[in-house]
Every structure is written in C-alpha cells, then in structure tokens.
Structure 1
Amino acid sequence: MRSLKAAALLAVAALTLTACGSGGDGGESADGKVKIRFSYWGSDSRQKLTEQVIAAFEKKNPNIDVVGEFSDWPSYYESLATKVAANDAPDVMTLEIRGLAEYAGRGALLDLTGKVNTADLDQEVLKANQVDGKQYAIPTGVNVFAMYANKSVLDKAGVELPDDKTWTWDEYIKLSAKITEAGKGEYYGTEYTSNNPTYPTIYAAQRGEKLYDNGKIGITADTLKAWWGNFTQMIETKASPDAAKMNEIIAGGVEQSLIGTNKGAFGMWWSNQLGTLSKVSGSELTMLRMPKLDASGGNGMFLQPAMHWTVSSKSEHPAEAQKFVDFLLNDPEAGGILLSDRGLPINSKVLEAIKGKLTPADQQSVDFIEQIRGELTQAIVPPKGASQMEDIIKRYTEAVTAGQQSADEAATKFLEEANAAISG
C-alpha cells in the first residue's frame, strides 16, 4: 500500500510542473455529446452508486457524456497528480480536505463562487472550506469523528453506557480497563487509532490549541506528550491491546476492528462508518461524544467534509462540469442514489427528501449530528503539505507506544518534521 507521504510528494512535484494547456482529451464524443471526465476513489459499492448517479445525470442532460475515472484510495492522488502534470486533468475531481490547499494553491482548481447553486447548502460548512476566501471546492457531505460503543460487549461485561456529556479521558480509560478485566481475554475495553490526525485535533482543541494554526503546527509538545500518555495508560492497564497488536488491528481497517469483530467495547470512527461497522459486527452500536479533559469542558468535536467536488481550472467544458457538480449537490434524485456514501448531504432540502431512504444506521448518524450540532465547530482546511501528517503521526505514535522513543524526544522531532512538511 503506497503511503500518503509518497502520494503527497508526487502531487507537489506534479502540480509544480503543471502549465497552461487543455484539459486533456476533453471535447465531443463520437456522437456529438460534450464529454467531461470525473475522477473519484472508493470501494466497489461506491463505484456502482457513482455509475448510477452518472446515468441519472446523463438522462436529464442528454447532451453531456460523463466518463468516470475510478481508482482505489492508495493510488488515487498519485494518478491524479500525474494527470494534472500532463495537462490531462479530469474536468471534475474529487478531493479530500488534506489535498485541498495543495491543489488550490497551485492554480489547479476553478473558483466555483457564484457558478454552482449553494443557496440550500449549509453556509457555515461552505465558508469553512474556502481557501484564501474562494470556494474552490464544495463538500459532498459531512461526518463527525465519534466514540463508538458496542452494546453486546458492554452487556457481557455488565457495564452501562457512560454519560457522554460529562465523561473524561481518565474515566474512559478506567472503564475500558474494567471491561478488559471482565473479558478475561475474550474482549478488550477499547481500541485506539494512531494514524488519524482528527484524534489529536480534537484532543488539542480540548486544551485550547489547534493542530494547524496560521500555517504552522499549533499543537504543543506538552499536548502531544499528554495525548501519547493516554495510549501508554491504555496499554499499561490493558484497557487496549499492546502496541504491536493494535498496529495489526489498525492495518485491518473496519472489518478487523475490535468493534467490528465484537472483541472491543469502544473505538473511534467516522459517523459514516456506522453502517459498515453495524453490518460486520451484527451488533447494536451507539455513537457517543468524545471524552473530555474535564466534565465541564468542551469536547473539541467538529463537522468534517467527507470529501469535496472540484472543477479543474483547465477544463475545456467548465459549464458542463459545473452543471454536473450542481446536480450532485442539489438534485434529490442524486441524493437518493448516493445517500450517505460521501457523508450526509449539506443540502437541507436534499437531506429532508432522502431521510426515508436512509438505513437505520444513517438515521442514527443524522440524529446524533443533530443532537450535538450546537457543540460542534467547523473543520479547518489544512495547509499545504498536510497530506503527509497521517504518516508522520503514525510513525511517532508507534515509536512511543512501542517504547522505541521517549515522548519528549518524539514530540521534539514530530514538531520539527511536521512544521517542515507544511512549510515546504
């Protein structure tokens, strides 16, 4: 599996080479239709849904032919960067938030302000995803990063759901250790995630800090050490598996997670992963607020775009590309096909129209987000180079949890490398 760091470096190099030119082989199809290309990544199920939504758009716009360019996640950015460098960028490109500043900053994206109907979209989410005050990208939908609880494991351990409005990290870890002890090797209290920048972002916010602050790393060494201290405490109290086992579990993804295999009571996942986790576990899962530093403090949670629709600044058919993006965002038929696959729609009318089609898991996600919406902040578009952060966080967290590096040394080196990544 190619690393995000490698993909990011290739993206930087490729975008630097980009010059003015055509959008590749855009033009007319053999039958006279305008052809636009659309790049995206995902699973086989996402590909099928996307083909359906493309067919629905083409039926309503018989003069436009949309050619989907599908890729798996590990190779997506490498492939896209190569195409952009060769003046062969797809007309409509899917980007996640860590790649947004990179592509916008190098002139690869069209400013969509006033070119796509955004009247019914969540205006706060839109504004939070601007780069230099311009709407280069529009979120496909939103998620929240939450704590999941597996009720079947809690029941086995004889433990009630915690009060997520007040629970703290210490309480979470102690409760998890209690559950592990009750499991006698059958299950653990929790699993942790060591490679997701969202977790330290939330933890930093609880301490009044930001992971990124004015183009620099805003999280302090003390906060990093305290964050890693939670992992160390989990391992030492057996609230979670040890570092080696956790690395294997993390590499296995949703299907091999402790929550998904009914071998763990708690775990942190995105809200749009509830359906998959519920399916693979076959158990009742509940989303909870993240633990806090103290009962009266904030939880640091935020609305995160699942991904973004963007249009190439070199597109030969920007009007048709914009029309396709408009359809994906604003047409209830498109919403009824995609449902929550790319996050819950930020178009209030579309969300209302499709509610009856959502699975029970998706309905639970909608209800959870609405319940805590007043507590949530908006995501911040990370600076250039942020695509490397997942790899950097993973390496130093694994070094600390495995006892290969002290927290003091890791914090110093992490800040040096992370700042270099986003300033380069």
Structure 2
Amino acid sequence: MSSGKKMWSAALLATAVLAVTAACGSGSGGESADGKVKLRFSYWGSDARQKMTEEVIKKFEAKNPTIDVEGEFSDFASYYETLSTKVAGSDAPDVITLEIRGLREYADRGTLADLASKVNTADIDGKVLSTGAIDGKQFAIPTGVNAFSLVVNPALVESNGQKLPDDTKWTWEEYVDLASKISAKSGGKVTGTQLSWNPAYLQIYAAQKGEPFYQGNKLGLTPATIKEWWAVMQNLVKTKGSPDAAKSSEIGASAIDQSLLATNAGAMGMWWSNQLGAVVKASGQNMDLLRMPKTAGATSGGMFLQPAMFYTASSKSEHAAEAAKFIDYLINDPEAGGIILSDRGLPASSKVLAAVKDKLPDADKKTLDFLDEVKSELSDPPAAPPKGASAMEDILKRYTEEVLFARMTPDDAAQKFITEANASIAG
C-alpha cells in the first residue's frame, strides 16, 4: 500500500495465474495430523501485524475446534512474488489477502471464489463492498477503509515559524511554499516534506483536473496533467521544500518508520490514513491528517475512500465452506475486530467499528474523526483497476525519477509513461 514498495512483475503474475487455470486440483487445504481441516491464510505486513493475526487465528480455532489455520506471512516486498509462485504451482492458500491493484489479475483468471452469500456483508457499505466485485461476482471482501491524505506534525510546523494551513482551500503552490519555508527556517534540521509517487497521489491530482486515472483499459490522464504533477515535485526540490532527487529516491524506497516524518526529520508527508498510527508510534509525536491541496479552480478535492485490502478465497480450495467461515469471522466478529482494530483499515463492518471504537488508539480515533469530517467530500471508491495495474507504481516511480534527475524532459517522460502504462493494462 505504501509508496516505494516493489510490486510484483505483471509478467510473472500473468504467467502464474495462467498456469493455475490450466492446472488440475490444488495443494491448498487438506487435513491436519489429528484429522482437523487445515486452512492456509496468506498475508503480508509487519511483525506487529503477524503477532495480532496469530492471536486472531487462535481465537478462531478456539471457536472452531475442527479447523486449524496456518498463517503464511511475509513482508510486502516479497509477498506477491511468493503468492504467484504458489498459485502457478497449484498450491494456492485457501484464504488470500490482496490489494485492489491485483484483484482483477487474479479474479479474471479464475483463481478466486465467488463469496456472494457465503460471507455476511450486511453491515458493509454497499459502495465499499462493490470494489470487491468484478462482473457481478463478489470475489473479495474489504477488510477496512482508508483515504490517501497528507500527514503533518503540527509542532514542527509551528516551531519553524509557520502556521497550519486551512486545508479546506489550500493550493499546491501554498503546499510548496509552506514546505520550503519550514526547511529554510529550520536551517537544515527539518525538511518541509518528502516526495511521493504513489499512484493514489496522481489519481487525486488528476481528479482535481477532471480526469480519471483509468478509462477502461487505458489511462485517462493527459500529458499536461502528468507534467503539472511532476512540476509540483520539481518545485519542492528546487525550493528545498523536499530533499533532492537522490535523497528522495532513497527515502521513497524505505519503510514508513524510516520516513522523514516518522524520524522527526520532516514536517509533512503523504500516506494512507490507516498508516497514521505507524507514523505516530515511530516518531513519538502528535500528528494530524489534512486534506490534500487543490489545483486552482478545482471543483473536487479528488480524495476517495479505498479498501485497505481484501480477503479472498481460492476457487481451488478443498474447504470452501471453512474458508468462507474464517473470512466471515475476520470481517464480522467483534472479538477479531478488537484485536485487529484499524491495522487493516478502519473496520469495514459498521457493527464491528461501533464495537471497537472506544478501544482504538488515539491516532486511530483521529483517523476515524478525519474520515467522518471529509466523508461528504470523498469520491465513491474506485472499481478494481485493469489487469496490469499492479505494475503502475513501479512504472510511475521510474519516469518520475527520470524527470527529477533531469535525465528526461517532462514532455518525453509523460509520453513514454503513458505508452508503457497503457501497454501494461491493455489486457
């Protein structure tokens, strides 16, 4: 979910999912030595996520003594490559965690089971739930929701002689100006912000210009919008509101707890709202969420709700009913929700969210308040993007760096980015 993470190769994934559709049977499921049904559950994340997930699994097993759940955990960087290898070898886990960027890749190849009527979704907002549906089939159940936002350290802004913006009306020019002033006032001790090339950032910027990121199996972006978006980054580097190109590339490839904001070396940064807690924990500082700046004359802020991730089930699972039961527990049981809290986004189930609201850490309560505040301004959650979108962040990052390092002109880079991106999602 976070910018700078290496996504899986579209070619590798295509090969994997093609292979599984041709294969017979599945290596998933089976029975434990004591005769219990064995489910395999794949997911990625931090050590903290692994610990809480193992706790949830134990609670589920206690309620369902005939089922054993085996967690298959990895870091994000290696998750999809490992998963695609398993799928290609007819060894798909029974329950699979996916991002929206990879959902269509797996669904269109017959890898996923239709979970309609198998998991209780009555308490999930219909628009959010629809993001997990493709061609009328509910292949994925959203774990929780978040929004790509600006995270700010108010103390660092104010201690460097600046004021927090009125985020209901601030512009990208004001964002660059604020960042550069913070950097200048601190004498190099604090940088105003750090760059981001997360596609969600460009998607928001494009929406402010009235352009969709995807239009069918093509990009809906114009070269002019992409160049304007790059100009914001170029101006940040030029005014020293952000680190230079080399340092920005280095920071962008690191984990969130190594970001400028999390290490108290930066005052602002862009992340998904459910990552606020990680920044607060790493920095030990109070943080706020702000609306993204706007282009001049924008009628929409461009921000949108998006599922943090999805739970899906393998269509080849030998234990489809038990897989659906486990997903239902993860989504709908307040006991599970009380352990997971907002780690996978604020709970998608309204009943679970109400049950765990008072247990949320202060940072997550702040996230909930922020999303409630901006709810009426948010666009509907986008549908799953085209096949090949899983490679978009890598492609975008590569051409963004070509521009920032001045190895390509924005004109040339924009045309080549569009050509390569369209080839990736052509289907």
Q: Same fold (TM over 0.5)?
A: yes
What does 1:111-130 align with in structure 2 at a 5 Å threshold?
111-130=114-133
Distance 1:304 1:296 in 2: 21
CA distance in 2, matches of 1:413, 1:59: 55
Q: Residues 47, 307 of structure 1: CA spacing in aligned structure 2 closer, same or farther, 3 A cutoff?
A: same
- Supply the AA of the counterpart residue of 1:71: S
Q: Given the alignment of the two structures, is residue 347 of structure 1 paired with residue 349 of structure 2, yes or no?
A: yes
Counterpart in 2 of 1:61? 64
8 Å CA contact retained: 1:5, 1:391: no
Equivalents in 2 of 1:220, 1:156: separation in Å? 40
Counterpart for residue 218 of structure 2: 216
Find the residue that maps to 2:138 and give its secondary structure.
coil
In structure 1, the partner of 2:412 is 409
CA contact (8 A) 1:36 1:90 kept: yes
Aligned-pair identity (%): 57
- 1:14-41 CA distance string (max 9 Å, x none): 1111125323152222212111111111
Shift of 1:291: 0.2
Quote the Cα distance in structure 1 between the aligned partners of 2:116 and 2:306: 21
Whole-Å separation in 2 of the counterparts to 1:329 and 1:204 = 33
Paired residues, number: 422
Matches within 5 A, 1:155-174: 155-174=158-177
Equivalences for residues 22-421 of structure 1 within 5 A = 22-24=25-27, 26-194=29-197, 196-294=198-296, 297-377=299-379, 378-421=381-424
The answer to which of 367-376 and 100-109 deviates more is 367-376
8 A Cα contact 2:257 2:279, kept in partner: yes
**What is the CA–CA distance in structure 2 between the aligned matches of 1:292 and 1:168, rounded to whole Å?**
5
Q: In the alignment, is the contact (CA less than 8 A) between 1:166 and 1:296 conserved in 2?
A: no
- TM-score between the two structures when normalised by the length of structure 2: 0.96
**How far is the alpha carbon of 1:323 from its aligned partner?**
0.4
- Superposed CA deviations along residues 35-86 of structure 1, whole A, max 9, x for unmatched, are 1111111111111111111111111111111111112212211111111122
Instruction: Tell me the alpha carbon deviations over residues 169-199 of structure 1, each in whole angstroms, 9 at most, x when there is no partner.
Output: 11111121222221121112221112x1111
Give the structure 1 partner of residue 13 of structure 2.
11
Q: Tell me, what secondary structure is at the counterpart of 1:16?
A: helix
Q: Shift of residue 294 of structure 1? A: 2.6
Q: What is the deviation of 1:5?
A: 4.6
Q: What displacement does 1:135 show?
A: 0.9
Query: What displacement does 1:385 show?
Result: 0.4
Determine the C-alpha separation between the residues in 2 that align with 1:231 and 1:210: 21
Q: Per-residue deviation at 1:311?
A: 0.6
Q: Does the aligned pair in 2 maintain the 1:113–1:135 contact within 8 Å?
A: yes
Q: Distance in 2 between matches of 1:107 and 1:284?
A: 45
* Matched letter for residue 371 of structure 1: E
Rounded to whole Å, the distance in 2 between the matches of 1:263 and 1:151 is 13
Q: 1:166–1:294: 8 Å Cα contact kept in structure 2?
A: no
Deviations 1:117-154 (A, max 9, x none): 10111111011332122210011111111111111211
TM-score, normalised with respect to structure 1: 0.97
Q: Counterpart of 1:146 in 2: which secondary structure? A: strand
Once residues 62 and 34 of structure 1 are traced to their aligned partners in structure 2, the CA distance between those partners, rounded to angstroms, is 9
Distance in 1 (CA, whole Å) between partners of 2:383 and 2:199 is: 12
Could you report, residue by residue, the CA deviation over 1:370-418 in whole angstroms, capped at 9, with x for unpaired residues? 1111111213311100111111000000010111100000001001000
Letter aligned with residue 128 of structure 1: T
Q: Any gaps of 5 or more consecutive residues in structure 2?
A: none
Instruction: Tell me how far 1:10 sits from its aligned partner.
Output: 1.4
- 13-22 vs 226-235, greater mean Cα deviation: 13-22
Distance 1:2 1:289, change over 3 A: closer
Letter in 1 for 2:255: G
CA contact (8 A) 2:130 2:383 kept: no
Distance 1:162 1:205 in 2: 21
| Structure 1, unpaired ranges of 5+ | none
Q: How far apart are the structure 2 equivalents of 1:136 and 1:99?
A: 12
Name the CA shift for 1:362/1:3 in 2 (closer, same or farther; >3 Å).
Answer: closer
Q: Deviations over 1:201-254 (max 9, x none)?
A: 111111111111112111111100110011111111222111111112212222
Q: Deviations over 1:258-290 (max 9, x none)?
A: 211222221111111111111221221110000
Task: Tell me which amino acid in the other structure corresponds to 2:77.
Answer: P
| SS class of match (2:133) | coil
- CA distance 1:25–1:302, shift in 2 (3 Å): closer
Q: Is the 8 A contact 1:206 1:297 kept in 2?
A: yes
Amino acid at match of 2:54: E
The CA deviation at 1:164 is 0.3
Question: Contact 1:20 / 1:314 at 8 angstroms: preserved in 2?
Answer: no
Instruction: Give 3-state SS (helix, strand or coil) of 2:176's partner.
Output: helix
